[in-house]
Amino acid sequence: MMKALGSSRLSRRRFLIASASLGVGTIAAPYVARADDPTLRITGWGGKWGEVMKAEIGPAFESEFKCKLQIDSAFPYLPKLQASSRSAPIYDVLHTNSNEQWAAAEMGLVEPKIDPNLVPNLADVYPYAVSDKIVGVSIFTSAIGLGLRTDKGYGPITSWKELWDAKYNGVRGGYVIPVNSLGQAFLMMCGTLFGKGQTDLDAAYAALEKLKPIKIVDFTGAMEKMLLSGEVSLCVIHDSGIYRYDGQNQPTDFVSPSEGVLSLEQVLTITPGSKMKELANAYVNYMLRPEVQKRLAETVWYSPANKKVKLDAKYDAKLLTTPEKVSKLIQVDWKWYNERKDEIDQRVNRIFRA
């Protein structure tokens, strides 16, 4: 027994030495590898967006501006920014959807506007990208409309109101409004469709009641899959969630309702305490460059904010690339919405729980 113990002790020692070496290596690696170049800390999406950013767009920026781009693609960004020091924020540039940017701006975590003198490409963006509904600048937008199964014989859809048609009972899809931007934007659209405007919450609540039965999901990606699998036949969705399956022979299509499409903006802002302001502005300007906009737009099917971008015909036909198409965008007043978010969350939870 003693011999056995002795031999196991030897192997344990080896194991501990190997593990300790691994540990020291793991812990020390980032410090050893740390370069002297300045680092710009930004947030960004995962998926295809993240792939192109890591493989092409990010390295090109690093090379041109002699810096390191540190992209945090792990949600949630806002609580992390909130928890970090105002004078030394965890991010220099915040990239999120517009609703979160408004929340950040209200807390003073991001600068409300981008200086056009420091970001020359701002002069070339569509008005919606810097409107009073936007904090910072919108670099891309998606159109929120309706997703339809084309193989179920439901016929052409022209209006948002068709979502309330009884024939879609059990096969219509929506979102868990408290946690999903598309759901929140849709709630505002309900006020416009059935009441006096976006802020007519009573009309919106009544309309949501009449939407039941409805299948609701929290992630937009889950809605895409439900539509692909045929679990829903008509749903609220953004155009890129449909167009990304272009060429895969899927029986789905995006419908731009006659009342207009809601905008789902990809917004960049700069944090007030950033020590890399010059680089941050350069990054915003870089992301608005026509060639960068074209590459990303054609990768993830987002409509570019820069008017000068010329997309390939396939993308140009579907995305919002002309002033006429852009005029169909309906922007949500997120400042107004965020001020009432708790009250709205409670009410819609009651509606859908029932």
Partner 1 sequence: MQTSASHSPSLPTARQTTSVRMPGPARHYGRYLYLALNAAILIFLLAPIAIVVVFALNPTPFIQFPPVGVSLRWFEKFFASRDFMQALGFSLEVAVLTTLSATVLGASAALALARGNLPGTRLIVATMLSPLMLPAILTGLALFQTYVLLDVGRPTWGLVAGHTLVTLPYVVRTTLAVLHNFDTRLEEAAQNLGASPLRTFFEVTLPLIKPGVMAGAIFAFIVSFDQFPVSLFLVSPGNETLPVTLFNYLKFDLDGTIGAASVVSIVLAFVVVIGLDRTVGLRSYVKL
Nearest distance from C-beta of residue 68 to partner 1, angstroms: 10
In 3D, which of 133, 250, 226 has the Cα closest to residue 175? Answer: 226
Under the binding rule (CB under 8 A), the answer on residue 79 touching partner 1 is: yes
Contact pick of 72, 316, 333, 345 for partner 1 (by CB under 8 A): 72
Query: Contacting partner 1 (CB under 8 A), which of 67, 71, 237, 261?
Result: 71
Stretch binding partner 1 (CB under 8 A), from 44-52, 99-107, 142-150, 184-192 = 44-52
Residue type, 74: A
Per CB under 8 A, the segment of 41-49, 149-157, 194-202, 203-211 that binds partner 1 is 41-49
CA 128 to chain centre: 17
Nearer to partner 1, 88 or 123 (CB): 88
Give yes or no for residue 9 binding partner 1 (CB under 8 A): yes
Q: What is the DSSP letter of 236?
A: E
Q: Encoding tokens for residue 73?
A: 């693609």
Q: Helices 181-194 and 98-106, interaxial angle, to 10°?
A: 100
CA distance 152 to 159: 18
Whole-number minimum distance, CB 42 to partner 1, in Å? 9
Pick one of 7, 14, 16, 343: the residue that binds partner 1 (CB under 8 A): 16
Piece of 26-34, 132-140, 257-265, 269-277 that binds partner 1 (CB under 8 A): 26-34
Q: Applying CB under 8 A, which of residues 229, 317, 324, 354 lies at the interface with partner 1?
A: 229
Phi/psi for 249 (5° steps) reads 60, 40
Instruction: Tell me the two tokens of residue 30.
Output: 């980032």
Total Cβ atoms within 10 A of residue 134: 26
d(CA 193, CA 191): 6
Instruction: State the minimum distance, in angstroms, from the CB of residue 219 to partner 1.
Output: 6
Measured from the CB atom, the residue of 16 and 123 that comes closer to partner 1 is: 16
Q: What's the rounded Cα separation, in Å, for the pair 155 and 203?
A: 28
Q: Is 107 a binder of partner 1 (CB under 8 A)?
A: no
Cα angle 326-330-334, degrees, rounded to a multiple of 5: 130
Q: Is residue 10 near partner 1 by the rule CB under 8 A?
A: no
- The answer to whether residue 59 forms part of the interface with partner 1 (CB under 8 A) is no
Q: Among 10, 17, 59, 76, which residue sits at the site for partner 1 (rule: CB under 8 A)?
A: 76
Long-range contacts, stretch 204-212, CB < 8 angstroms, 24+ apart: 205/347, 205/348, 205/351, 207/164, 208/348, 208/351, 208/352, 209/351, 210/164, 211/163, 211/164, 211/172, 211/174, 212/351, 212/352
Using DSSP's 3-state secondary structure scheme, residue 228 falls into: helix
Least CB distance from residue 2 to partner 1, whole Å? 7
Site for partner 1 contains 83 (CB under 8 A): yes
**Among residues 226, 268, 330, 348, which is the contact residue for partner 1, using CB under 8 A?**
226
Report phi then psi at 146, rounded to 5: -115, 140
Applying CB under 8 A, among 74, 166, 317, 354 the residue interacting with partner 1 is: 74
176 binds partner 1 (CB under 8 A): no
Selected binder of partner 1 within 38, 62, 65, 84 (CB under 8 A) = 84
Q: How many residues bind partner 1 (CB under 8 A)?
A: 42
| One-letter-per-residue 3-state SS of 121-190 | HHHHECHHHHCCCCCCEEEEEEEEEEEEECCCCCCCCCCHHHHHCHHHCCCEEEECHHHCHHHHHHHHHH
Q: Which stretch binds partner 1 (CB under 8 A): 2-10, 162-170, 207-215, 334-342?
A: 2-10
Q: Where does this chain bind partner 1 (CB under 8 A)?
A: 2, 5, 9, 16, 19-20, 22-23, 26-27, 29-30, 41, 45-50, 70-76, 79-80, 83-85, 88, 90, 219-222, 224-226, 228-229
